[in-house]
A and B are shown apart, each in its own frame.
Chain A
Amino acid sequence: MEPAAKSAGVCPAKVSEILAKYSRRPDALVSILHDVQKEAGYLSEEAITEIASGLDIPVSKVYGVATFYTLFSTKPKGQYIIRVCENAPCHVLGAKAIVEALEKELGIPMGGTTSDGKFTLEYTSCLGVCGVAPAIMINEAVYGNLTPERVPLILKEYK
C-alpha cells in the first residue's frame, strides 16, 4: 500500500509550485494546505511561513487555519495515521474495545506515534460509514464492521 504521507519537510520550490497552481489566491488557503500537507506529511513552521509570504497574508492567519481543521497537522505524524471514530454510533457498537485493541497492538496510547514513526493513533469525528460501525480510517482507506480480533489482521497489511 502506498503511504499518503512522508515524514519530511517540504522544499520552498514545491510550496511555490503549489501556490502558483492556485494563482496565489488567499481564498484557496484550505486547498493549498491540503496539497502542501500531502507533499510533506505535515505543515511545518517553515512551510507555513513560506505560504504566508507567498500569499501575502500574516503567518498568524495561516497558522490559525492550519490548526482549526483536524485533518491538518503542524507536527510530524506517523507514515500511517489511524483515525478511530468514537462518536455515538461507533460507541454503541463497541468502539472502546477497538481503541483498546489498537493501543495494545501498537503499544502506544491514543494520540501517540510509534517510535519507528510508522503509526499515529488518534480519534476522529464521525467518518460517515455508520452502517458498518465501528469503523476506522488508515490514511485514505476505511475499515468497518470491526472486532478486536480483526485489528491485528488489518495492521499486518501495513507493518
Chain B
Amino acid sequence: MEFYRSHVLVCGGTPCVLEGCKGVRDALIAEVKRRGLDREVKVVETGCLGPCDLGPVIVVYPEGTLYQKVRVSDVPEIVEQHLLKGRVVTRLVGEAPQAGVVKYEEPTYLGVQERIVLRNCGVIDPESIEEYIARDGYRALAKCLTEMKPADVIEAVKKSGLVGRGGAAFPTGLKWSFTANADADQKYILCNADEGEPGTFKDRLILEGDPHSILEGMAIAGYAVGANKGFIYVRGEYVLSIERLGKAIEQAKALGLLGSNIFGSGFSFDVEIRKGAGAYVCGEETGLIESIEGKRGEPRIKPPYPGTEGLYGKPTVVNNVETIANIPPILLNGPDWFRQFGTERCPGTKVFTLTGDITNKGLIEVPMGITLRRVIYEIGGGIPGGREFKMAQTGGTSGGCLPKELLDVPMDYFTLPEHGSALGSGALLIMDDSHCIVDIAECFMRFFEHESCGKCTPCREGTARLHEIVAKIARGEGKPGDLELLDELGSVMQVSSLCGLGQAAPVPIKTMLKYFRDEFEAHINDRLCPTGTCGI
C-alpha cells in the first residue's frame, strides 16, 4: 500500500460537476505529476462535501483546508504554494472567520454536524469498493449473515428507533417485520430513489457519494425479511447517480458481496436499477411499484400495503435512500449507539438540504431535533444581502411554512406536525422578507396541479382549484371568502385524497394562511401586494 503525505479531495457531486470539478481534478493530477509530487500527494474525487453553492470545492489534508470556487487556472498556484511550500492560498478560502484559513471541520461546514448517513460522502472515492471496505464497508452485512438470525436483525432495527427518512416516518423495523412475517415464495426490497420533492437533493448526493452503503443496506434488509431481489428506482434525471450505482453493483458482484451465497452463508441477493421517467407521484411507494411494473405510476388504494402485497403482488419493503444508508452503521454499532444521537422519540440524525435565501447552501447532516435557528444561523451562515428572515418551508413543497416566531421549535418527525408543518424529506427552503406570500403560494400550488396524477377526484380537482384561487388573488382578483374556501378545500383534500400527494398539497397553503393571513388579506381587500411582487 502506498502512503501519501497529502490528499487532495475534489468534490465530485453533481453541483460541483456542473461547475467544472472534473477539469480541476484533471488539472490537479497533471500539475502534481509535473511537479514530481505524484508519489507524495494523491488527488481523489469524492462524493459531496456539502457546500454546494461554493463549487468546485476541494479539501487538502492533513490540514483540512477548504478551497472554494476553484478554477483550472488556480491549480498551479495551489500546487506550488500549498502542496510544495506549505502555504495556504488565502484568496481561495472565501471569507475566513479567522486568520485567513477555512478548515473543513469548522462550524460553518462540519462543526455541529454528526455524520452517520454521510459518513463516507466527501471522504472516499465513491467508485472504489476498496475504499468503502476500508471504512468498515460490508462489515455489517458480514456480521448479520454470519452472527445474527434474521429476527435479530429486525429486532436491532426496531430497537434503534429508526423511522423512514423519506417523509412518512414509519418505524423501519416494524415495516420490515410485516414483510418478514408474510408467507410468500418471493419477496422484494425496493430502494426509493425517486427523489422529486422540490428542494431535496440528499438522495442524489448519497447515491453519488456512497453508493455501496445503499447496496449493503438493501442486502441486510433482504436477509432480514427473506428477500433475494432488490430494485433501486432512481429518477431518470439523476444521470451520475445511475452511473455510480451501476459501477458499484458490478464491483460488489465481482467480489461476491452481491450475488449467490454471500459470505458462504447460503443467502443470495441481487440488485437491479430501474430508471424513472419524470413523475413526482412515483415517489409514493405504490406509484413507484406500478412504474416498475411498466404501468402509469398511479398510486394504489391501501390497504393492502406493500409490506404484504407489493411489487408483482409479492411482499415488498420500500425504503428511502437515507433510511437504507442508516442500516449498516446501526447493525455494526448496535441500536444503543444509534440512540445516543437525536431525541428520545426520534433517534439518529437527519440530512437536510439548505436552499433559498441562505448564505451557505448545500447538504448537511445534524442530530434530529436541532432547531431551525441553529441550522440557519450556525451552519447556514444566516440570511445574505442584509435582508431579514421571513419564513422557512420545512420538508419540501409538501411541507409547511414557518414564521420567525417558530425558529426555536425542535425539528423532528413528531414536533413539526404539531405546528402544521412536516420534516418530510429534509428540504429547508429559506425565504427572506423580499418575497410575497401569495406569489410563493402560487408557485407551490402550480407544482401540485402539474404533478397530480389524476386518479382520484379530491386531488385532481382540488390541486387545480387551489392553484386557480391563489392565482386570482395574486392577480388582484381575489374576493372575500376565498381564504375560507382555500382552508375548507384543503381540509377536504387532506381527508379524502388517495395518497400523500393530495393529502400534503394543502399543507403549505394552510400554514401560510395560519401565519401570514394578513398578506393574503391585503391582496384581497386592498388590492395591494405588500412586497410589490405580484402583478397587481
Instruction: Provide the bound-state CA to CA distance between A19 and B294, in Å.
Output: 13
Instruction: Provide the bound-state CA to CA distance between A81 and B459, in Å.
Output: 30
Provided the pairs A92-B356, A128-B235, A130-B199 are in contact, do residues A30 and B18 lie with their beta carbons within 8 angstroms? Answer: no
**Those of A118-144 within 8 Å (CB) of chain B:** 124-133, 137, 140-144
Q: Which of A10-18, A21-29, A104-112 contacts B (4 or more CB under 8 A)?
A: A21-29
Instruction: Provide the bound-state CA to CA distance between A34 and B361, in Å.
Output: 33
Instruction: Provide the bound-state CA to CA distance between A46 and B362, in Å.
Output: 45
CB atoms of B200 and A130 under 8 A apart? yes
Interface bin, chain B: 35 or more
* From A61, A125, A130, residue with most partner B Cβ within 10 Å: A130
Q: Which residues on the B side are within 8 Å of A74 (C-beta)?
A: none
CB atoms of B356 and A127 under 8 A apart? no
Q: Which residues on the A side are within 8 Å of B451 (C-beta)?
A: 125
**Those of A54-91 within 8 Å (CB) of chain B:** 61, 64-65, 68-72, 86-89, 91
Instruction: Provide the bound-state CA to CA distance between A87 and B292, in Å.
Output: 26
Does A93 sit at the interface, judged by CB under 8 A? yes
CB atoms of A131 and B277 under 8 A apart? no
Instruction: Provide the bound-state CA to CA distance between A131 and B292, in Å.
Output: 29
Taking the nearest CB of chain B, how far is it from the CB of A87, in angstroms? 4
Taking the nearest CB of chain B, how far is it from the CB of A5, in angstroms? 14
Does A115 sit at the interface, judged by CB under 8 A? no
Taking the nearest CB of chain A, how far is it from the CB of B503, in angstroms? 19
CB atoms of B291 and A125 under 8 A apart? no
Does A33 sit at the interface, judged by CB under 8 A? yes
Does A53 sit at the interface, judged by CB under 8 A? no
Instruction: Provide the bound-state CA to CA distance between A31 and B236, in Å.
Output: 10
CB atoms of A26 and B237 under 8 A apart? no
Taking the nearest CB of chain B, how far is it from the CB of A138, in angstroms? 11
CB atoms of B237 and A131 under 8 A apart? no
CB atoms of B429 and A30 under 8 A apart? no
Does B427 sit at the interface, judged by CB under 8 A? yes
Provided the pairs A88-B429, A125-B451 are in contact, do residues A131 and B278 lie with their beta carbons within 8 angstroms? Answer: no
Instruction: Provide the bound-state CA to CA distance between A24 and B357, in Å.
Output: 49
Q: Which residues on the B side are within 8 Å of A86 (C-beta)?
A: 443, 446
Does B55 sit at the interface, judged by CB under 8 A? yes
Closest chain A residue to B241 by CB distance? Answer: A128
CB atoms of B18 and A143 under 8 A apart? yes
Q: Which residues on the B side are within 8 Å of A130 (C-beta)?
A: 198-201, 353, 355, 361, 427
Instruction: Provide the bound-state CA to CA distance between A21 and B300, in Å.
Output: 29
Q: Which residues on the B side are within 8 Å of A127 (C-beta)?
A: 237
Closest chain A residue to B441 by CB distance? Answer: A88
Instruction: Provide the bound-state CA to CA distance between A19 and B433, in Å.
Output: 54
CB atoms of B52 and A126 under 8 A apart? no
Q: Which residues on the B side are within 8 Å of A133 (C-beta)?
A: 355-356, 361
Contact of A29 among B238, B279, B295, B362 (CB under 8 A): B295
* From A26, A91, A140, A144, residue with most partner B Cβ within 10 Å: A91
Q: Which residues on the B side are within 8 Å of A126 (C-beta)?
A: 196-200
A-B residue pair count with CB separations less than 8 angstroms? 150
Taking the nearest CB of chain B, how far is it from the CB of A154, in angstroms? 11
CB atoms of B274 and A129 under 8 A apart? no
Instruction: Provide the bound-state CA to CA distance between A28 and B277, in Å.
Output: 13
CB atoms of A87 and B443 under 8 A apart? yes
Q: Which residues on the B side are within 8 Å of A124 (C-beta)?
A: 237, 278
**Those of B252-310 within 8 Å (CB) of chain A:** 274-280, 291-298
CB atoms of A65 and B294 under 8 A apart? yes
CB atoms of B274 and A30 under 8 A apart? yes
**Those of A144-158 within 8 Å (CB) of chain B:** 144-145
Q: Which residues on the A side are within 8 Å of B431 (C-beta)?
A: 92
CB atoms of B397 and A128 under 8 A apart? no
CB atoms of B201 and A131 under 8 A apart? yes
CB atoms of A144 and B18 under 8 A apart? yes
Provided the pairs A30-B294, A131-B354 are in contact, do residues A145 and B196 lie with their beta carbons within 8 angstroms? Answer: no
CB atoms of B204 and A128 under 8 A apart? yes
CB atoms of A132 and B19 under 8 A apart? yes
Q: Which residues on the B side are within 8 Å of A69 (C-beta)?
A: 276-279, 297
Q: Which residues on the A side are within 8 Å of B382 (C-beta)?
A: none
Contact of A131 among B53, B235, B239, B275 (CB under 8 A): B53
CB atoms of B15 and A132 under 8 A apart? yes
Instruction: Provide the bound-state CA to CA distance between A71 and B427, in Å.
Output: 24
CB atoms of B294 and A87 under 8 A apart? no
Instruction: Provide the bound-state CA to CA distance between A25 and B272, in Å.
Output: 16
CB atoms of A88 and B397 under 8 A apart? yes
Closest chain B residue to A27 by CB distance? Answer: B294
Contact of A89 among B55, B277, B296, B356 (CB under 8 A): B356
Closest chain A residue to B280 by CB distance? Answer: A125
Q: Which residues on the B side are within 8 Å of A33 (C-beta)?
A: 277
Taking the nearest CB of chain B, how far is it from the CB of A66, in angstroms? 9
Closest chain B residue to A64 by CB distance? Answer: B296
Instruction: Provide the bound-state CA to CA distance between A64 and B292, in Å.
Output: 15
**Those of B1-31 within 8 Å (CB) of chain A:** 14-15, 18-19
Does B444 sit at the interface, judged by CB under 8 A? yes
Taking the nearest CB of chain A, how far is it from the CB of B62, in angstroms? 27
Q: List 13 additional contacts besides A125-B280, A132-B55; criterion CB under 8 Å.
A: A65-B295, A70-B278, A71-B276, A72-B277, A87-B447, A91-B440, A92-B356, A125-B278, A128-B195, A131-B355, A132-B15, A133-B355, A144-B15
A-B pairs with beta carbons under 8 Å apart, 26 shown: A34-B236, A69-B297, A70-B278, A70-B279, A71-B237, A71-B276, A88-B397, A89-B429, A92-B356, A93-B357, A124-B278, A125-B198, A125-B280, A125-B450, A126-B199, A128-B235, A128-B237, A129-B18, A130-B355, A131-B52, A131-B201, A131-B354, A131-B355, A132-B55, A133-B356, A140-B239
Binding site for B on A (CB under 8 A): 25-31, 33-34, 61, 64-65, 68-72, 86-89, 91-93, 124-133, 137, 140-145
